[in-house]
A and B are shown apart, each in its own frame.
Chain A
Amino acid sequence: MIKENNIKLIFLSLSLLLIILIFFFPFFWIITSSFKTPAEIIATSTTIIPRSFTLEHYNKILFNSDFFIYLKNSLIVSFSSMIISIILSVSAAYGLHKLKFYGNKFVEYSLLVTYAFPGVILLVPIYLLFAKVNLLNSYFALIIVNVLFATPFAVWMLKAFFMLIPNEIEEAAYIDGASRYIVISRIIVPLAAPGIASVSIFCFIISWTEYLFASILISGDNLKTLPVGLAGIVGQYQIDWGFLLSGAVLASLPVILLFVFIGRYFVSGLTEGSVK
């Protein structure tokens, strides 16, 4: 028994070390690098503890670039996509998993398969379609697409939470004369609140990180989102690393802040909802 526990302990420590090195060290690296002088960032000999400290890159990106325009665009697109996605997926998940209708398995699997269609396959035809109906260069173009990407998985995530709510609670409410609307707004939504919170973060992240469609459907500089703005710097021949790194850190900050406040719902939403 003791021997097996020792082996377990060694395995556990090794994999913990590996996980920290692989998944956390890169963040330490780019955050500290964004405060280094340009010379130290591209120095051939690397030291783990930074030798220099400067705010010049942040100064440049905050006061001498279009950062705030991109930030505003990303916020508008991500929040709108998130709200629409939640409304649509909560309603669909309720219908799928609480009402059980003829064809619900088909809809459930089709929703999962819709992951096959998003992405680059739809890029050309959506571009043409939006050009025809005059939607290019608008927030709405990005919102339509982001909702499409976020909702299939959102419905799947909500399933676990809806399944946890006992049908008896609902039935008792109906016997007391409650309408469907009352049941959903007073019972289902409050009881599934952690699930809805985690789905919200998921939808926000999907929109916040989307690059491909944002780069094609938007051409005006004043409507570009953060990922597209950043990618513009990545593509330059002579990369200004300090500028790019501070931009990368700032572009990640909003999702990280969101995560500080409701991240635990997201993680528990993913891990604790029993998948049955």
Chain B
Amino acid sequence: MKKNNIEGWLFVSPLVIWISLIILVPIYIAFELSLFNVKIIGTSGKFVGIENYIKLFGKSKFLNASLNSLYWIIGNAICQTFLAFTIALTINYKFPGKKIMANWIILSFIIPTVVVVVIWKLMLSSSSGVINSVLIDIGLLDDATGFFSSPNKAFISLVLINSWRWSPFLALIILSGLNSINREMYDASKVDGANFVQQFLFITFPNLKSVLFVLGLVGTLLSFNIFDIIWLITKGGPSSATTTLPLLIYETAFTKFRISQAATLSIVTSFLLLLFSILFIKSMAPKEDD
């Protein structure tokens, strides 16, 4: 098809302008703030140059939050890949009730995150949670455990809760990839004697490349951005074990009232995410023949 430069841009520009304005203007404001020493919102501070940046890299809190974010992304990626593939491959088979399940599996994604928090706070409650009593009944636990009381348990519980919310949605996107694979390839491989593990490794997986590319990029960024589930359940605790970068930014700005520090953190974080995105696209983008 021939290119339609002016008209094409005309159709895209309302959205591009909307998004650029709401991203670029705030980034500019944040950058400006990061060069000053502003504490409470609305007050003015003195110009300090790059001092905020230098201070930031020496802070153990920043290092701790960055590592937590890294573990958060890795933990969620592993957990969600496993759950999403399990769901997608299961729903891809024919069984009674398949349609209903495919339509409603996404329930955990369409409800507000606050409701996700309510569900799991109740289910995992140490005093009356159903998970604790089931684990005690089947003999896996002697006493009720506080799932959010120790640093490791809290972190793992949050990863599982977040994965519970997101994997059905990811599963449906993987399903779209599965549906686009030519059925004949499976039949042909069967004739050649391939079993279903081989089919998965040599047909399913390679054909999902473009879907997995988008999921890898968007999924990583989306997991990085998770704030409400963590904040509403643990507030970043116990002892900062679940404070990821988004929580640190929020805390710095709205509970410690260090606006310039929060802005500096935001700039550094955006830079890291942008770097990740560029590297990811450059190295993983599937080749397209136009």
Contacts and interface: CB of A to CB of B under 8 A. Distances in A.
B176 A152 contact: no
A40 to B, nearest CB: 9
Interface stretch (A51-59, A60-68, A124-132): A124-132
Q: Which of A107, A167, A247 has the most CB of B within 10 A?
A: A107
A124 B30 contact: yes
A66 B121 CA distance: 23
Contacts of B164: 22-23, 26
B266 interface: yes
Contacts of A216: 254
B197 to A, nearest CB: 10
A122 B109 CA distance: 23
B176 A116 contact: no
Q: Label chain B's interface by main secondary structure.
A: helix
Q: Which of A95, A124, A155, A241 has the most CB of B within 10 A?
A: A124
A83 interface: no
Contact of B128 (A22, A43, A152, A255): A43
Interface residues of A, number: 104
Given A26-B123, A117-B270, A126-B22, A101 B227 contact: no
B3 A129 contact: no
Q: How large is the interface on B (under 10, 10 to 19, 20 to 34, 35 or more residues)?
A: 35 or more
Interface string A20-56: 0011101101100100000001111110000000000
14 contacts: A30-B118, A42-B127, A92-B15, A113-B221, A113-B281, A117-B23, A120-B245, A120-B266, A212-B227, A231-B228, A248-B114, A252-B111, A252-B112, A255-B110
The 4 residue pairs across chains A and B that have the minimum distance between CB atoms: A101-B8, A95-B11, A125-B26, A119-B225
Interface of A: 4, 8, 12, 15-16, 18-19, 22-24, 26-27, 29-30, 33, 41-46, 87-89, 91-92, 94-96, 99-104, 107, 109, 111-129, 131, 144-145, 147-148, 151-153, 155-156, 160, 167, 180, 201, 205, 208-209, 211-212, 216, 226-227, 230-231, 234-235, 239, 241, 244-245, 247-248, 251-252, 255-256, 259, 263-264, 266-267, 270-276
Given A12-B93, A275-B210, 19 more contacts: A24-B107, A88-B14, A99-B4, A100-B2, A112-B217, A114-B23, A115-B225, A119-B224, A120-B245, A124-B33, A131-B41, A147-B18, A160-B176, A180-B7, A205-B109, A226-B112, A245-B118, A256-B111, A267-B103
